[in-house]
Amino acid sequence: MFAAVLSGGVRGITSYLMQVEVDAADGLPSFVMVGYASGDTREAGDRVRVALKNAGYHIPPMRITVNLSPAAIRKERVSVDLPLAMGLLCATGELPEECLADTLVFGELGLDGEVRSVRGTLPIVARAAQAGIRTCILPADNAREGAAVSGMKIVGVRTLEEAVLYLKASAEERDGLIPPTTVDLEEVFAAGETSDPADFSDINGQETVKRAAMIAAAGFHHLLLIGPPGTGKSMIAKRMPGILPPLSEDESIEVSTIYSVAGLMGPEDTLITRRPFISPHHTVTEAALTGGGASPRPGLISLAHRGVLFLDELPEFHRATLDLLRQPMEDRRISIARAGFNCVYPADFMLIAAMNPCPCGYYPDRNRCRCAEHEIRRYLGRISGPILDRIDICVEAPRVKIEDLSGTHPAGDLTSAAIRDRVLAARGIQKKRFTGTKLRFNADMEPADIKRYCALGDAENAMLSGLFRSMGLSARAYHRILRLARTIADLDGSERICKKHIAEAACYRRADSSYWSGGGAA
């Protein structure tokens, strides 16, 4: 007999639907799997036969042929165990074939018949929903993740026997056997909005750096913090997710899809509702940062999508590793090329980097810094000019004053909640401005968008022209100053970009020029 079961797989970050076709015929006992299946996928045949035996189902000696369609796509690391088992039971008459009509099935089997979780649940279920499928049988540990897709009936099973009993039951009895998994997305997002115990009010002093962090959050700009050890650079970076605008539902699904494909969604996870914060060690490999491998998986920069990628001790990273960020920072995606196919992972992250100004960390304080000039130049030279050119805000974090540490100076209103309120107000202005476009934040603007949304008066144009010549700006730096000035104006609630906004934006580029133009290490 012949049976076909609908399943799915993921290639890169793109999901696809797959038919698991099973034919059981008389003849010399054998098991053949075709359809461009990789070695790890072919192993499913042995697991399924043992799992069926241990679950009490007898498969007679027959010639069994399995086809994974479409054959044009290589089936690599796809979980065909559960659909293959269902197909075998249908093909041998144990299950009626019509019980799987309009039903998506996927999951991995243990040798004892346990149904184990798989990665890529969210994109597979979403793809099935787009195709009009309305029922999905999947591992119980993936049920909440699948239930995030509206309009899909999610049936989470823990054992092979549970799945068979469910399919044998009548339509009226099924919900009593295994109640469909449902989630309230409003509750999920509300739970994700719980306050973060790490607050900006914990940071003593550094009002200028906090201001720069607020501007970066309001426009989703890249930020570089330079200063000696112990000035709060890492503390500020770790508090950035708490002042960023919350993830929208579409953004949450994007991020959750990446984490699902990477296998990082737990049994209790439904969606990622808080902006990611990824902080790799400086020894991170290029493949771990960008993604890849024989069967490509998302790297750390993709896991930071719609969130923060924090690189502490920036010059300690290998220069070649840092230069890999150039294309993702510009294009907001990263392409992984392999023989036979390419996959593109999203990588729209906010880069926050922190560094010391020299190997010992205390330059330009010559009372404490003992680094030679060539050592400082070599240290700063580990960061290429193109990377610096892509960072919108560069700000120095000076040593904290004793008055700030002793509490003589009050923290003022620079708490995370107060900063976030201002960020959300600026974000509201940007949302209204970019209605009907693909733009979300000011940092998303391309040169054509800047020309449209960042019009300047004569006085502002003259000021910016003078800055362009005196600071020796590149075209990219010129546009970044305008984007930054637009964000500063939004924080002020100003429709026009004024001279003071341009002046402040330009100041955030002078810090890097003081170190890398030759003046800082002279």
Q: What tokens were used for 117?
A: 């979780």
Q: What is the pLDDT of residue 521?
A: 39
Model confidence at 432: pLDDT above 90: yes
Quick one: pLDDT band at residue 152, thresholds 50, 70, 90?
very high
Q: What is the pLDDT of residue 519?
A: 41
Domain ranges of the chain: 2-183
Residue keyed to tokens 């770790």: 238
Which residues, in sequence order, are bridge partners of residue 115? 109
What type of residue is 58? H
Q: What is the pLDDT of residue 309?
A: 97
Burial class (CB in 10 A: 0-12, 13-18, 19+), 66: buried
Is 2-183 in CATH node 3.30.230.10? Answer: yes
pTM: 0.91
How many CA atoms lie within 13 Å of 221's alpha carbon, on the beta-carbon side?
35
pLDDT tens digits, 75-101: 988 899 999 999 999 999 999 988 999
CA 78 to CA 124: how far, in whole Å?
11
Q: Which helix (H) or strand (E) holds 291?
A: strand 291-292
Mean per-residue pLDDT of the chain: 91
pLDDT tens digits, 336-357: 877 667 888 999 999 999 999 9
Percent of the chain with pLDDT over 90: 73
Q: What is the pLDDT of residue 510?
A: 66
Give the residue ranges of DSSP H helices in 220-285: 233-238, 249-261
Burial class (CB in 10 A: 0-12, 13-18, 19+), 16: middle
The answer to whether the CB of 397 falls within 8 A of the CB of 231 is: yes
Of 69, 62, 3, nearest to 27 by C-alpha is 62
Q: What is the pLDDT of residue 474?
A: 82
pLDDT tens digits, 481-496: 999 999 999 999 999 9
Taken in order 507, 511, 516, 521, is the CA torsion positive or negative?
positive
pLDDT tens digits, 154-198: 999 999 999 999 999 998 899 999 999 999 998 998 887 766 778
CA dihedral 319, 324, 329, 330 (to 10 degrees): 110
Inter-CA distances, 442 with 218, 300, 354, 465, 511, Å: 8, 24, 23, 21, 22
DSSP E strands, 80-211: 103-105, 108-109, 115-116, 135-139, 153-157
